[in-house]
Chain A
Amino acid sequence: DAKTTQPPSMDCAEGRAANLPCNHSTISGNEYVYWYRQIHSQGPQYIIHGLKNNETNEMASLIITEDRKSSTLILPHATLRDTAVYYCIVRVKNYGGSQGNLIFGKGTKLSVKP
């Protein structure tokens, strides 16, 4: 089962920031938070990941709470093309014996409206 909880759907106005929350209260110390999105019938697209510090790239920002039990993905200026299902996933990231498979939950369907 997925280790994360996300709201099933959210709306956002075009041009505004989209803030997508994720709860991961049972996260372990060596687990990272990953975000992917899937636009209808396409392969999931990697967005960003982080361990405990806030992260930013050209697509989004990831804010992780100090206790690491929750995080927020921020799309600073949402466009219609950001309409997609967003998945928050926690997983280890090491070269030991850990398994690499991503466990997807149901994600959040973000609808960006004009």
Chain B
Amino acid sequence: KAGVTQTPRYLIKTRGQQVTLSCSPISGHRSVSWYQQTPGQGLQFLFEYFSETQRNKGNFPGRFSGRQFSNSRSEMNVSTLELGDSALYLCASSPRHPTDTQYFGPGTRLTVL
């Protein structure tokens, strides 16, 4: 089976812009979770989706949002980018429910200038 795919892999934006990142889960997986990784804060949970519903959200401002489609693919959006949003954004999928084992994609490296 193909693993989790994330697009784009690298992205450069400027402050104030918005960005949309995409995640395609492993075929047949129904749940998607998103994480942000920075050198200072480490790996932090953003949100998780199951059956197109956001089930849980981490402690991030409202500029961070996401959604899941009926085919389980997910997108996350960050509006009004700040320099501190520069990070590796990771998507993980799990077979049936967010509490199943999560399998991570390669990540999208976002740089905000």
Contacts and interface: CB of A to CB of B under 8 A. Distances in A.
A94 B101 CA distance: 11
A45 interface: yes
Given A100-B31, A100-B55, A101-B45, A43 B100 contact: no
Given A41-B88, A44-B90, A95-B97, A104 B103 contact: no
Contacts of A103: 45
A99 B106 contact: no
Given A42-B107, A43-B105, A43-B107, A100 B90 contact: no
Contacts of A99: 48, 55-56, 98-99
Main SS of chain A's interface residues? loop
Contacts of A13: none
A95 B101 contact: no
A46 B56 contact: no
Contacts of B100: 93, 100
Interface of B: 4, 31, 33, 35, 42-45, 48, 55-56, 58, 88, 90, 92, 94, 96-107, 109
Interface of A: 34, 36, 41-46, 49, 87, 91-95, 98-106
